[in-house]
């Protein structure tokens, strides 16, 4: 909260006895005591309660924030003002919310910038959200950050809140916050496939753009994920594509969803997008292709993810790296030899120089010695006939390698060989 909005005097300031006891009960997770304090000891049902205040100017002995010490202070400080109803909704205390509303609490009061409905949605407390809506809470109330309650439905547990909001007339198309995200963007960013299905069923435009020019598909592909979220995100992207999402929309940096998926080393997403016709050779404003994005992140990606991503791109017709730039690739991807192998095998013949060894740290060379010994053994040796045949077949099939090679009457091992499956050594 800025100084301009800090003139409101709380009914219960930070140093009051009630706030001290309330904070103690919250810290101890004593939910019964929290409810008791809110329902019986707060005299005014819409009282303003101060829960935090870092206005260091009021206390000259206070330790100064780092921004002040650096001369970067922006004349702002954080001050947390709230109401009993907001606290109860944030904690999911349905009985307490019901009690306060029965006493006439204003469901839309938001002295701290967020109303009780925002808090209920943020916590995924469906029963509280329903109570608030039944007492005429505004389903599209904007927070101080310009976010409606639907924008705060960010977890799987909040699906019931989202359903209740839509049943009470919330807008599924409202853009909010500094990023200009719609509820569908929020669902995409958090991998919430059921939320996305709900919003699309209520008429959310599948290709709406946010302030960065992203569609929901781009937002889904560009969000960081934990491994346990990958399957849910893949379902969400498949849903968006089935509902007609454009596969190659560009954001403000001219990056497509495929750029985003490759930058996150997500071979499953990359393959999904490529199957739907994504352009494997698209360039962003910086001149980077999806392959370049995959190579840039190879060293820090999960071991199998980066080579699978590169393999998918090459099997769907991605242009390979200019031969003279291969030493730079080696330097970037040295710790991911499977990536080097897949990319190297996409060339019929690439001259290997002994000087390239300088790009590989000694400890990396030792860790992956079998591969790098086979790699530099090709410095003075042509590639084998089998590899040359592989390249001829791949050239014939072009960007349809992924479709046609599995149809060939060949053993699975040979099909994998043609699809650049890494083997750990070069021949």
Contact of 133 with 164, CB cutoff 8 Å: yes
- Predicted confidence at residue 66, as pLDDT, reads 55
Alpha-carbon distance 158 to 122, whole Å? 7
The verdict on residue 311 lying in a domain is: no
Contact of 227 with 204, CB cutoff 8 Å: no
Count of C-beta atoms within a 10 Å radius of residue 337: 27
- Predicted confidence at residue 361, as pLDDT, reads 95
Contact of 201 with 167, CB cutoff 8 Å: no
Q: Residue 368's closest CA among 173, 376, 260? A: 376
Alpha-carbon distance 31 to 21, whole Å? 12
156: part of which helix (H) or strand (E)?
none
Question: For residue 313, which phi and psi values (nearest 5 degrees)?
Answer: -60, -45
> In sequence order, what are the residues at sequence separation of 6 or more whose Cβ sits closer than 8 angstroms to the Cβ of residue 25?
33, 34, 37
- Predicted confidence at residue 75, as pLDDT, reads 47
The verdict on residue 328 lying in a domain is: no
**Residues listed for the chain:** 427
38 secondary structure, DSSP code:
I
Token pair, residue 261, equals: 């998926």
- Predicted confidence at residue 224, as pLDDT, reads 81
Query: Nearest-5° angle of CA 339, CA 342, CA 346?
Result: 135
Q: Where are the alpha helices (DSSP H) in 192-301?
A: 193-201, 216-222, 230-242, 257-263, 267-275, 290-296
Alpha-carbon distance 212 to 399, whole Å? 31
Alpha-carbon distance 22 to 35, whole Å? 9
- Predicted confidence at residue 2, as pLDDT, reads 37
- Predicted confidence at residue 225, as pLDDT, reads 84
- Predicted confidence at residue 55, as pLDDT, reads 55
Alpha-carbon distance 425 to 369, whole Å? 10
For the chain, first and last CA: distance in Å?
Answer: 64
- Predicted confidence at residue 65, as pLDDT, reads 53
Number of structural domains (the chain) is: 1
The verdict on residue 402 lying in a domain is: no
The verdict on residue 121 lying in a domain is: yes
Token pair, residue 164, equals: 């209740």
The verdict on residue 254 lying in a domain is: no
The verdict on residue 305 lying in a domain is: no
Domain containing residue 68: 1-169+181-201
CATH at 143:
1.25.40.20
- Predicted confidence at residue 133, as pLDDT, reads 98
Count of C-beta atoms within a 10 Å radius of residue 106: 17
Query: Nearest-5° angle of CA 328, CA 334, CA 338?
Result: 115
> In sequence order, what are the residues at sequence separation of 6 or more whose Cβ sits closer than 8 angstroms to the Cβ of residue 210?
175, 179, 180, 181, 182, 185, 219
The verdict on residue 176 lying in a domain is: no
* Residue ranges, the chain, pLDDT below 50: 1-6, 56-60, 62, 64, 68-75
Token pair, residue 242, equals: 């089935």
- Predicted confidence at residue 7, as pLDDT, reads 58
The verdict on residue 383 lying in a domain is: no
Contact of 302 with 266, CB cutoff 8 Å: no
Average pLDDT, the chain: 92
């Amino acid at each position: 909260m800025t100084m301009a909005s800090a003139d409101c005097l709380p009914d219960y300031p930070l140093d009051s006895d009630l706030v001290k006891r309330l904070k103690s009960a919250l810290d101890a997770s004593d939910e019964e005591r929290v409810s008791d304090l809110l329902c019986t000891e707060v005299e005014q049902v819409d009282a303003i309660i101060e829960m935090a205040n870092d206005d260091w100017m009021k206390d000259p002995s206070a330790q100064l924030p780092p921004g002040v010490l650096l001369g970067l202070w922006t004349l702002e400080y954080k001050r947390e003002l709230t109401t009993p109803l907001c606290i109860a909704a944030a904690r999911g205390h349905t009985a307490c919310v019901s009690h306060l509303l029965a006493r006439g609490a204003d469901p839309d009061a938001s002295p701290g910038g967020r109303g009780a409905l925002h808090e209920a949605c943020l916590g995924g407390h469906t029963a509280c959200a329903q109570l608030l809506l039944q007492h005429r809470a505004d389903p599209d109330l904007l927070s101080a950050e310009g976010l409606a309650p639907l924008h705060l439905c960010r977890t799987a547990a909040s699906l019931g809140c989202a359903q209740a909001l839509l049943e009470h007339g919330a807008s599924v198309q409202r853009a909010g916050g500094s990023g200009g995200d719609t509820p569908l963007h929020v669902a995409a960013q958090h991998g919430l496939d059921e939320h996305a299905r709900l919003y699309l069923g209520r008429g959310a435009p599948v290709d709406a753009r946010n302030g960065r020019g992203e569609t929901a598909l781009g937002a889904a592909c560009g969000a960081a994920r934990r491994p346990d979220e990958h399957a849910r995100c893949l379902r969400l992207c498949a849903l968006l594509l089935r509902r007609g999402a454009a596969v190659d929309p560009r954001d403000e940096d001219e990056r497509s969803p495929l750029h985003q998926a490759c930058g996150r080393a997500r071979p499953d997403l990359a393959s999904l997008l490529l199957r739907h016709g994504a352009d494997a050779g698209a360039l962003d404003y910086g001149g980077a292709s999806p392959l370049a994005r995959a190579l840039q992140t190879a060293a820090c990606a999960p071991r199998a993810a980066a080579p699978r991503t590169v393999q998918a791109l090459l099997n769907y017709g991605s242009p390979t790296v200019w031969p003279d730039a291969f030493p730079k690739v080696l330097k970037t991807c040295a710790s991911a030899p499977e990536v080097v192998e897949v990319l190297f095998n996409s060339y019929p013949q690439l001259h290997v120089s002994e000087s390239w060894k300088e790009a590989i740290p000694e400890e990396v060379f030792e860790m992956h010695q079998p591969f790098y010994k086979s790699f530099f053994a090709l410095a003075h040796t042509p590639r084998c006939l089998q590899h040359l045949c592989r390249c001829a077949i791949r050239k014939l099939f072009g960007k349809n390698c992924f479709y046609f090679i599995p149809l060939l009457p060949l053993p699975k091992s040979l099909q994998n060989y043609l699809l650049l499956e890494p083997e750990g050594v070069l021949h």
